[in-house]
């Protein structure tokens, strides 16, 4: 499989049909692992990095975790291609912007990715559409077992898996659920929800992880603690809290429908109208409007669009995706024109099936 094939498709996690998919975009778990016999990345020499990459490359390739694996040397990629992988959530910004030898292995359905030489030697992540953490945990556990047969992980009797940052030590696990919470934002209840999450040591992040803004009303809820609880307990903690937040969001949506149906319908319709007619549009405005449209589809206020299409638009209107599509480097003004053109073309078609062919 080649990198260029990725742009034609969308990741499994965007298909928008898992459990609670109207509110939960995706369920994701990552594990941080290090080889015992090399320094952590910040202390590794360029030669260390090359050797770590070789060992993990062989471990991943021979572990039979997938029959259709795309292995990409990140340090040999053009900047736009690295950005493309970040936009698809296949690699982190840290890996994209890092130094020296680094790589990622991705399966064709984009259900999992293994980052090599990120903050830790190995970062395994598994993603799935909708709210389905148990399934994700089973998959990532199996991948971890398969790789572990081929490599000696740094592990301490008492402290567990050893990581470059002590905030990840123990399980090295981060469980996160990406949620779309526009009604909680409109009704100004979102801050309250965050404060109560922080009290039970859960973290809230934006669409692209640590330090990113909550664009398009997307929020990632994840565990903060990694030590002293089993992987199952960590999954369970997030598993228990997400339905509560889903419930709040549903109540807020019902409140909006009951108290101000016209206003809500107007907001959604205007958003849809702008996206279908604008001649230039920024990424930020696009996210903001798509968020309203997405809620409108979920509430039955818009009937000619599928959730999977909107999910895809969130990703395909990002800068690197636009540039790959047009095949050239675009400045931000040109991107805004191209983004508007792409949105018009996509949203003004009647048949979803034709879209894929045309683009």
Partner 1 sequence: MKCQQCERPATFHITELTGGKPQELHLCEEHARTYLTSAPSGEAGGGGNMPPALGQQIQQMAIGQTAEELAQLDQQACPVCGITFYEFRSQGRLGCPHDYVAFQTQLEPLIVNVHGESEHVGKRPHRAANSSEMRTQLIRLRREMKEAVEGENYEHASELRDQIRRIETEQAV
Q: How far is the CB of 151 from partner 1 (least distance, A)?
A: 6
Nearer to partner 1, 224 or 277 (CB): 224
Hey, which residues does 206 pair with through a beta bridge? 209
Q: How far is the CB of 125 from partner 1 (least distance, A)?
A: 16
Nearer to partner 1, 225 or 315 (CB): 225
Nearer to partner 1, 135 or 326 (CB): 135
SS3 label, residue 284: helix
Nearer to partner 1, 8 or 64 (CB): 64
CB 315, CB 88: distance < 8 Å: yes
Nearer to partner 1, 31 or 289 (CB): 31
Contacts to partner 1 by CB under 8 A? 34-43, 94, 119, 141, 144-145, 148-162, 164-167, 169-171, 173, 201, 210-211, 224-231, 234
CB 99, CB 77: distance < 8 Å: no
Q: How far is the CB of 46 from partner 1 (least distance, A)?
A: 14
Per DSSP, 161 falls in state E
Nearer to partner 1, 9 or 141 (CB): 141
* Cα angle value 167/170/172 (rounded, 5°): 70
Q: Which among 168, 120, 144, 132 has a CA at the least distance from the CA of 28? A: 132
Q: How far is the CB of 237 from partner 1 (least distance, A)?
A: 13
Q: Which among 85, 65, 66 has a CA at the least distance from the CA of 75? A: 85
Per DSSP, 170 falls in state B
Nearer to partner 1, 25 or 55 (CB): 55
Q: How far is the CB of 82 from partner 1 (least distance, A)?
A: 17
Task: Round to whole Å and give the CA distance between 314 and 92.
Answer: 17
Phi, psi of 31 (to 5 degrees): -120, 135
The residues, any chain, with a CB within 8 Å of residue 4's CB and separated by 6 or more, are none
Q: How far is the CB of 235 from partner 1 (least distance, A)?
A: 11
CB atoms within 10 A of CB 212: 13
Q: How far is the CB of 315 from partner 1 (least distance, A)?
A: 24
Q: Which among 41, 42, 102, 97 has a CA at the least distance from the CA of 75? A: 102
């Amino acid at each position: 499989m080649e990198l260029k094939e990725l742009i034609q498709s969308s990741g499994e996690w965007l298909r928008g049909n898992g459990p609670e998919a109207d509110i939960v975009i995706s369920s994701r778990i990552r594990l941080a692992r290090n080889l015992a016999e090399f320094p952590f990345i910040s202390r590794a020499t360029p030669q260390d990095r090359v050797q770590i990459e070789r060992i993990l490359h062989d471990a991943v390739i021979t572990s039979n975790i997938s029959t259709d694996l795309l292995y990409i040397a990140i340090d040999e990629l053009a900047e736009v291609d690295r950005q493309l992988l970040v936009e698809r959530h296949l690699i982190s910004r840290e890996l994209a912007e890092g130094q020296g030898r680094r790589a990622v292995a991705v399966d064709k359905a984009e259900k999992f990715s293994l980052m090599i030489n990120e903050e830790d030697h190995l970062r395994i992540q598994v993603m799935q559409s909708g709210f389905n953490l148990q399934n994700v945990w089973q998959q990532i556990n199996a991948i971890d077992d398969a790789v572990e047969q081929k490599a000696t992980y740094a592990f301490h009797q008492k402290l567990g898996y050893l990581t470059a940052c002590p905030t990840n030590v123990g399980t090295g696990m981060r469980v996160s659920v990406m949620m779309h919470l526009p009604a909680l934002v409109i009704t100004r209840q979102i801050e309250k929800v965050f404060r109560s999450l922080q009290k039970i040591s859960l973290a809230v992040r934006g669409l692209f992880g640590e330090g990113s803004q909550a664009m398009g009303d997307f929020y990632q809820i994840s565990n903060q603690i990694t030590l002293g609880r089993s992987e199952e307990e960590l999954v369970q903690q997030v598993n228990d809290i997400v339905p509560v937040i889903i419930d709040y969001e549903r109540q807020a949506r019902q409140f909006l429908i009951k108290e101000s149906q016209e206003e809500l319908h107007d907001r959604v319709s205007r958003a849809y109208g702008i996206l279908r007619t604008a001649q230039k549009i920024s990424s930020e405005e696009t996210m903001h409007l798509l968020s309203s449209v997405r809620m409108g589809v979920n509430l039955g206020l818009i009937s000619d669009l599928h959730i999977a299409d909107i999910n895809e638009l969130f990703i395909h209107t990002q800068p690197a995706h636009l540039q790959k599509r047009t095949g050239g480097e675009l400045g931000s003004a040109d991107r805004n024109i191209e983004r508007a053109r792409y949105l018009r073309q996509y949203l003004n078609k009647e048949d979803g099936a034709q879209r894929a062919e045309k683009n």
